[in-house]
Amino acid sequence: MKKPDDADLPETPDTEGGPGTQPASLDELDMDSRSTMRPMATQAVFRPEFDDSDDGTFGGGDTEPQNLATIATRMLSPIRRLGGGLVEIARVPERDPLTALMTNPVVAEQKRFCWNCGKPVGRSSSDGHALSEGWCPHCGSAYSFLPQLSPGEIVADQYEIKGCIAHGGLGWVYLAFDHNVNERPVVLKGLVHSGDAEAQVIAMAERQFLAEVTHPGIVKIYNFVEHDDKHGNPVGYIVMEYVGGTSLKQARGTRLPVAEAIGYMLEILPALGYLHSIGLAYNDLKPENIMITEEQLKLIDLGAVSKLNSYGYLYGTPGFQAPEIVRTGPTVATDIYTVGRTLAALTLNLRTRRGRYVDGLPSEDPVLDTYDSFGRFLRRAIDPDPRRRFRSAEEMSSQLLGVLREVVAADTGSPRPGLSTVFSPSRSTFGVDLLVAHTDVYVDGQVHSEKLTAQEIVRALPVPLVDRTDVGAPMLVASVLSQPVHTLDQLRAARHGAIDAEGVDLSESVELPLMEARALLDLGDVAKATRKLDDLATWAGWRWQLVWFRAVAEMLSADYDSATKHFTEVLDTLPGELAPKLALAATAELAGTADELKFYNTVWSTDNGVISAGFGLARAQSVAGSRDEAVQTLDQVPPTSRHFTTARLTSAVTLLSGRSTGEITEQNIRDAARRVEALPDSEPRVLQIRALVLGTAMDWLADNTASSNHILGFPFTEHGLKLGVEASLRALARVAPTQSHRYALIDLANSVRPMSTF
């Protein structure tokens, strides 16, 4: 088939009349061409053995169902929480299954395609008549879009058909009541198209494994049965649990809020992880295959489920299906791809072409502009190279939860901290004392640097957690010490021993050389650490931990461009982590650029326990001229933090330091004084900041007028402020570390004391 020129095909906005589950053959690798015949349905891609099911939503379809009625059951909260309790959604009420029946089950003409060749059939002829059943004029296969089971019909002497509730690529989906189990509502769905008798036999045998699938997030399989169609041909049906509720496609309207969509995916990922753990791939994740019930979310269609790395007809939906599946067969990576595409479809304005979603992400979308980490998550999930995607549903879930914390924090303005599964907490803080440190000149007479250093940052940054599956992990847990020198001694002894006491070959450990490189970097030995990382990369291959420590080495070497590149690589791999964002912000501050300083804001708004980010954000805001915003940031440091006092003092300095008296207002001075006055004199640096505030007020009053209300216990007058400055300087002199500086402070106090008369 000749491939159409994409340039000649206009892009159209996404519409709800999108694809369902459909097949495509190996010679139709051009999915765009394929979609012109069968737009956005779940399709079977044939993977031959040498090259090493069908979609329908329950409770909705081509014809509108009857009005839904709510069944009164037990009292439940109208609100449900998803995503670890971070997201609230309205609870979907339980509904009477009979209300999901279609009143007039008809397949719209534009959705009629041949099950065998995929070309349009059953369309209106010149006389305006459209056949609902007949023979395909292209390949001669029989087709029928009429229900094969009628209300009241009994299947397998057990299931009484009530009617149709949906239509998909493999035919109608029926609601039935199970006479053998207390009239339990069930769903019957064809295994393959009824026109393929040989495939019926094969499908009945191959799909038996689905009965062993047991997970609360996956629809239950009850039975496999056969029933003759109207022509006497046996048709295989899968009997499934009826799941009442609303599909995500029905619930979303146009687009879902990002937090809500993530919450849904976090509920579904454990089900995918379960399938992968038993050697199965779901293959056809999309909004219409995810059902929201009264109490949980469920995958409702197992028609496309297959064994990992299998071959033959593989079902999936163009626009959601991974492009490499015809080569690799179903893999964890191909399922991961569908999660990314489903999230994108739920939240972004995806473009469509010829009835299917266009691959990739929009070049411009306000959602991606607003939620940077969410965009990074999607890009990794749908990376064209399956090796670069998330390695498992569990890893994906962990990162997605981190992204959700950022999204909810941004939406609500309240931090949503959480523990990382791959990084330690910050080992210390950096930059906390920078602004107040220059006031130490009052105490010791020495000028103190206000610049951030790479060494200070490296000692404080989080570090990758030890992989507990590594052969060297037990030794690291048992022997790594707090001092880098002692750690190196232990690691070198282990390396020379090679075999530990239990006979484990430690030479195969990746974590031991990584820990050695970390200790060397903590000691500032960048050259040895870099050689260690280079040696490890030659046999261990690419690992994000290697990239992280390489970036740390480059930061210490003042190669900030390379450090930024590698920290960004880690962030693209782990978009839900705060550690690389903190590292990028600190690197940008060292380099004197503002490109990555936005990450200070992301980290601080998500977790106000990362104190370094709060002080870093305040510095960035102050440099940008937003002193009021900087003060607000510092005021957000919680009182429970041991850095609360430093934050209060820093905000006072921020209000006054580095500004001329013409830029300062009386309100600035009083705000600074109020912050200092709230702290006891016994707190470190309170005396020197008192001196700064009173001295600034005295200088300001020389050119301005103010109310005489007291400030820090002294009248806001020339006489009162001079008394205050004198008292502060004499208090500092009493704690001065040297005699010379004590005399200097006393001389200064004498120079500012007001004139007195006897």
Q: How many whole angstroms separate alpha carbon 326 and alpha carbon 341? A: 18
For residues 227-233, average pLDDT: 83
Residue 402, token pair as written in the block: 């981190």
pLDDT, residue 55, reads 41
For residues 418-430, average pLDDT: 96
pLDDT tens for each residue of 676-725: 999 987 888 999 999 999 999 999 999 998 887 999 999 999 999 999 99
* pLDDT(70) > 50: no
pLDDT, residue 307, reads 92
* pLDDT(35) > 60: no
* pLDDT(579) > 90: yes
Q: Which of the given ranges, 19-23, 42-46, 210-214, 629-633, has the highest pLDDT on average?
A: 629-633
Alpha carbon distances (Å) from 358 to 111, 262, 281, 351, 355 = 19, 21, 23, 6, 9
Residue 614, token pair as written in the block: 């709060």
> In sequence order, what are the residues at sequence separation of 6 or more whose Cβ sits closer than 8 angstroms to the Cβ of residue 62?
102, 105, 106, 107, 108, 111, 167
End-to-end CA distance of the chain: give it in Å, rounded: 110
* pLDDT(499) > 60: no
In the chain, list all ranges with CATH 3.30.200.20.
Answer: 93-241
Higher pLDDT, 500 or 89: 89
* pLDDT(633) > 90: yes
At the topology level of CATH, where does 6-61+247-412 sit? Transferase(Phosphotransferase); domain 1 (1.10.510)
Strand 159-168, strand 154-155: pairing: antiparallel
* 446 within 8 A of 740, measured Cβ to Cβ: no
H-type helices in 11-68, by residue range? Answer: 31-35
* pLDDT(340) > 80: yes
pLDDT, residue 446, reads 86
For residues 155-182, average pLDDT: 92
* pLDDT(175) > 90: yes
pLDDT, residue 202, reads 56
User: Which one-letter DSSP state was computed for residue 226?
Assistant: E
Alpha carbon distances (Å) from 371 to 266, 365, 528, 612, 712 = 18, 10, 39, 22, 44
Q: How many whole angstroms separate alpha carbon 252 and alpha carbon 47? A: 34
Is residue 235 classed as helix, strand or coil in its secondary structure? Answer: strand
pLDDT, residue 488, reads 87
* pLDDT(201) > 70: no
* pLDDT(56) > 80: no
Residue 592, token pair as written in the block: 């004197």
Q: How many whole angstroms separate alpha carbon 326 and alpha carbon 180? A: 42
Angle, nearest 10°, between helix axes 511-522 and 484-497?
150
* pLDDT(417) > 90: yes
Residue whose token pair is 């850095």: 643
CATH 3.40.50.300 fits 93-241, yes or no: no
For residues 356-363, average pLDDT: 90
pLDDT, residue 380, reads 98
**Chain centroid to CA 444: how far?**
49
Give the CA diameter of the chain.
124
Of the pLDDT bands very low, low, confident and very high (cuts 50, 70, 90), residue 12 is: very low
pLDDT, residue 294, reads 84
Q: How many whole angstroms separate alpha carbon 246 and alpha carbon 95? A: 10
**Chain centroid to CA 482: how far?**
33
* 550 within 8 A of 518, measured Cβ to Cβ: no
* pLDDT(206) > 80: no
Is residue 443 classed as helix, strand or coil in its secondary structure? Answer: helix
pTM score of the predicted model = 0.86
pLDDT, residue 698, reads 94
Q: How many whole angstroms separate alpha carbon 25 and alpha carbon 602? A: 46
Higher pLDDT, 143 or 614: 614
pLDDT, residue 78, reads 81
Of 55, 62, 284, 335, the catalytic one is 284
Give the chain's mean pLDDT.
86
Q: How many whole angstroms separate alpha carbon 517 and alpha carbon 97? A: 62
Of the pLDDT bands very low, low, confident and very high (cuts 50, 70, 90), residue 231 is: confident
Percent of the chain residues past pLDDT 70, beyond the cut: 85
Catalytic, 284? Answer yes
Of the pLDDT bands very low, low, confident and very high (cuts 50, 70, 90), residue 617 is: very high
For residues 628-651, average pLDDT: 95
The neighbouring-strand residues paired with 718 are: none
In 342-471, beta strands by DSSP E: 351-353, 356-357
pLDDT tens for each residue of 457-478: 999 999 999 999 998 888 887 6
* Lowest-pLDDT range of 175-189, 265-279, 344-358, 619-633: 344-358
Q: Counting runs of H as helices and runs of E as strands, what totals does the chain give?
A: 27, 21
* pLDDT(567) > 70: yes
pLDDT tens for each residue of 366-388: 999 999 999 999 999 999 999 99
Higher pLDDT, 113 or 127: 113
Higher pLDDT, 180 or 112: 180
* 256 within 8 A of 346, measured Cβ to Cβ: yes
pLDDT, residue 441, reads 87
Of the pLDDT bands very low, low, confident and very high (cuts 50, 70, 90), residue 63 is: very low
Which stretch of DSSP H or E encloses residue 168?
A: strand 159-168
Residue 563, token pair as written in the block: 């450090």
* 522 within 8 A of 458, measured Cβ to Cβ: yes
pLDDT, residue 47, reads 59
pLDDT, residue 253, reads 67
In 3D, which of 211, 341, 330, 250 has the Cα closest to residue 282?
A: 330
pLDDT, residue 732, reads 92
Q: What number of CA atoms fall less than 13 Å from residue 545's CA on the CB side?
A: 23
Strand order in the sheet with 356-357: 12-13, 351-353, 356-357
* pLDDT(188) > 50: yes
The neighbouring-strand residues paired with 246 are: 292
Q: How many whole angstroms separate alpha carbon 181 and alpha carbon 208? A: 21
pLDDT, residue 713, reads 93
Q: How many whole angstroms separate alpha carbon 269 and alpha carbon 392? A: 10
* pLDDT(428) > 90: yes
* 149 within 8 A of 188, measured Cβ to Cβ: yes
Kindly calculate the radius of gyration of the chain based on its CA atoms and give it in whole angstroms: 34
pLDDT tens for each residue of 76-112: 678 889 999 999 988 888 889 998 899 999 988 888 8
Q: How many whole angstroms separate alpha carbon 403 and alpha carbon 399? A: 6
